[in-house]
Structure 1
Amino acid sequence: MTTLIYWFRNDLRLTDNPALVEACLHADHLLPVYIFPPQSKTHHFLGFPREGHYRQTFVRESLDDLKAQLRGLGSDLLEYEGEPADVLATLARTIGADAIYCERIEAPEEMQQSQQIQEQGILLKEFWQSSMCSVESLPFPSQDMPNIFTQFRKEIERSGLRFTTPLAMSSNIPALPTCLANLPREFDGQTVVQADRFTGGERSALAHLKQYLLRRLPDSYKETRNQLIGKDFSSKFSPWLALGCISARTIAADIAAYEECHGANEGTYWLWFELLWRDYFRFLHFKYGRQLYRAKGLSDAPLVKSDPVQFERWCAGKTGEPFVDAGMRELVKTGYLSNRMRQIVASYLIYDLKGDWRSGAAWFESQLIDYDVYSNQGNWLYLAGRGTDPRGGRHFNVAKQAQDHDPRGDYQRLWL
């Protein structure tokens, strides 16, 4: 009899979850778990929480949805708080687990967690599953991928690769271990506030994707994606993608089916294009790894140190630059910011306030409901000129951006 633990990380879904499918295939008994970080790691060294209340709410809703689905299949989801290696070692000893299965995450903290688990003498099987295209399907070794996104995209397109086919949900979730009464007490959850724009969970993600396609919104995506106000100007897939409530492969496959039905257009291509950018930032981790998390990134340019007062004003939306302040206040009040505004406010911190890009990246991690370690790090490196882009960063002219994207001042009036 084989007993396995399935450790949910940023893959809070049952559909297109290769690691979970493999665990179900090889287990007679399966214990699904989720682990919150210990209290000592919940705050950034700059003093603010690493996970703001909007993301806490979204995580809570996503876990509740996952738990309900698992219970409907005769299983459950157990939640704990602490260092994953310690929690999982205790659980493995208690139930006599033969191995732990989980998603592979190529970022320093997550890789350290995996290493610590293995140092406990536990067999850990990790599966890469967060990208639209699998590593194996790439037309080049991931360690030798092109540095520049445009070249990366052209080689992908030249090879005919669009996405890796998603997997169906496992038809059978193995029974829970029989010794549940002996397990440590579960974590009793977090105190959160209600979010007003997104509801977490796989079923909400699939419902959102369905209505987005039914309303033919992909057709207008390219024309509207840089708008600043409203719900439908962009896809809003990112919160669910960030936690893995839905996979990029599922979205790409549904867009391809939409194209079969309604025809391909600039909007459907651009949705795929943005998912490919997401893949690009992920695959860069196979090439550069921890170098992407150095203070200087991939650059040798000297660092600057943020002025604490200016940084605090930037965070609060009180810089005196109305367009930037509107964006920063939207972020604090909703946990969300359009991609266009993210670039503008980040550029303003780096180039106009001469601030440290790492502080800005940390604030985004704290505030964004759709925080994703790969995309957040990749975008801040790109804007700061510390990534792979040869242009040396992106300095946005705030006045021009305001004129282009908020000519009547509607966005600024909304948030100021």
Structure 2
Amino acid sequence: MTNPTMTATKPSPLGFSIISGRLAANSHREWPVVRRQTALVQSLISTPLRTTSTFESVVTARLLSQPIEPSTQSPAQDCLGGGTKTEGLAIVWLRNELRLHDHPAMVHACKNYSHVLPVLVLNTDQHKVVNGAMEALSIAEQDLFCRSIEELERDLVARGGHLLILKTENADDVAGTLGHLFVQLGGLIRGFIYHKGFSSVERQEEARVITAISSAIAKRNQQQTSEDEMTITPMWANTLYEWDLLSFNDANGLPDNCDDFSDLVSRVGPPKEPLPTPEEIPCPTKRFLLDLGVEGCKASQILSKMVDNASHGWLSPGERGAAVALRNYIEGKSLGSKFTSSSLSPPNGLFNALLSWGCISPKTIFHSVAQALPTMSIRRHCAELDLLLRDFQCFSQFRTSLSI
């Protein structure tokens, strides 16, 4: 499946712009370059960076050896498009994507529907603070998660939208909560868009959600003379590559080790560049939703923020926090290089939480590092290896889920 794309008439302002021009201090380095004003550079970094015409690092010499063909259009132009929008509401189900930059589902919704409503279902049981040895870590995670949601809310408001947060007591109620939303909004909903999960738990949740909303639509159609059309669109996100583009004949086509996986992706070419942030997200008003009985809540009403600024200063929330972490990594200020560790604390898990919650995409990290760091940089080498390993782990989980 090829991700739909959007265009933008100008670079969209985003928190990533806090990455400063200090990277220009490396401008004395010389290697073959092609200067490109990409949407990624315009959105993420306040000064243009240089990028090689091929990915030539120790890792990418083998993995991503195909050259990047110069595009006659910017990624923003490739991504936006004309066409007639469907009159109606598209629900964008946010699962692990607390960002607007490089968000395929949001881009698709804004391109194809007249109104868009991002919905986040919070499982209060999942985010309870645990007792015992891991209590401090759990509190820090919850605090960071809550503040990342609040930042996403602010970014949506700045673009004319808002975030509908619904509360549920356990994972099994997520489907029922979304199904009830379809009942409340009646025939207004024309699209349901979400990013596919990888694990068996995530895919089972998807199946329950699809069953619940399909049931709600069927009941609604029985009560009226004409049937409402509604399109369900699953999409790939949160990995460098897409399962559908890796030429797997079936689930058994996935290599059993990371070395063979790297050989496979080397035949595909470099990862796609990240999608730009939609400049405008046309949401129905809160008053309109309240009149239909749809009332959300604030993240802070569900998640407790219990960590003071001094204790979480090493990692800031949301897209802006991810931008700071990425800038520090590129400039060599971070304590470690791991993107895939299960640990939240530095040095082993610098980006783990931000990637897990989707505050930044792997494509954004990959292309920013490849554009900013020289061929033989150890940090570039480690980032590429870690991100490739993360893809392999995600697809291995997905393969396992297909057999269940």
For residue 362 of structure 2, the aligned residue among 243, 248, 268 is 248
CA contact (8 A) 1:132 1:249 kept: yes
- 1:22-45 Cα shifts (integer Å, max 9, x gaps): 01112211111211115489699x
For residue 151 of structure 1, the aligned residue among 255, 260, 281 is 260
- 1:191-217 Cα shifts (integer Å, max 9, x gaps): 23215232221121112212322x245
Q: Which amino acid aligns with 1:184?
A: V
Pair 1:40–1:76, CA change in 2 (3 A): closer
Pair 1:206–1:79, CA change in 2 (3 A): same
Give 1:94 shift. Answer: 2.3
SS in 1 for 2:260: helix
CA contact (8 A) 1:35 1:79 kept: yes
Q: Which amino acid aligns with 2:189?
A: A
Which position in structure 2 is the counterpart of 1:200?
A: 317
SS in 2 for 1:98: strand
Structure ranking higher in helix proportion: 1
Structure 2: distance between partners of 1:106 and 1:250: 20
Which position in structure 2 is the counterpart of 1:16?
A: 102
CA contact (8 A) 2:199 2:398 kept: no
For residue 295 of structure 2, the aligned residue among 159, 179, 185 is 185
Pair 1:112–1:235, CA change in 2 (3 A): closer
- 1:287-322 Cα shifts (integer Å, max 9, x gaps): 221669xxxxxxxxxxxxxxxxxxxxxxxxxxxxxx
Which position in structure 1 is the counterpart of 2:20?
A: none
- 1:116-153 Cα shifts (integer Å, max 9, x gaps): 22212155322110111222442544621110122212
CA contact (8 A) 2:146 2:304 kept: no
Q: Which amino acid aligns with 1:211?
A: N
Structure 1: distance between partners of 2:265 and 2:144: 33
Q: How does 1:227-238 map to 2 (within 5 A)?
A: 236-238=350-352
Pair 1:193–1:26, CA change in 2 (3 A): same
Q: How does 1:31-110 map to 2 (within 5 A)?
A: 31-37=117-123, 39=125, 52-82=138-168, 83-95=173-185, 96-110=188-202
Give 1:179 shift. Answer: 2.0
Pair 1:234–1:86, CA change in 2 (3 A): closer
Aligned-residue CA RMSD (Å): 3.4
Q: Which amino acid aligns with 1:174?
A: P
Give 1:93 shift. Answer: 2.6
User: Higher relative contact order at CA 8 Å, sep ≥6: structure 1 or structure 2?
Assistant: 2
Taking structure 2 as the reference length, what is the TM-score of the superposition? Answer: 0.62
Pair 1:206–1:142, CA change in 2 (3 A): farther
Pair 1:168–1:216, CA change in 2 (3 A): same
Which position in structure 1 is the counterpart of 2:52?
A: none
SS in 2 for 1:57: helix
- 1:213-243 Cα shifts (integer Å, max 9, x gaps): 2x2459x9679x99x9x95x56812221110
Which position in structure 2 is the counterpart of 1:281?
A: 393
Give 1:18 shift. Answer: 0.6
Structure 1: distance between partners of 2:399 and 2:204: 18
Which position in structure 2 is the counterpart of 1:111?
A: 203
Structure 2: distance between partners of 1:27 and 1:281: 34
Identity of aligned residues (%): 22
Which position in structure 1 is the counterpart of 2:381?
A: 269
Pair 1:85–1:106, CA change in 2 (3 A): same
SS in 2 for 1:28: strand
CA contact (8 A) 1:37 1:81 kept: yes
Unmatched runs of 5 consecutive residues or more in structure 1: 293-416
Structure 1: distance between partners of 2:201 and 2:149: 22
For residue 27 of structure 1, the aligned residue among 89, 113, 120 is 113
Structure 2: distance between partners of 1:87 and 1:60: 20
Give 1:279 shift. Answer: 0.3
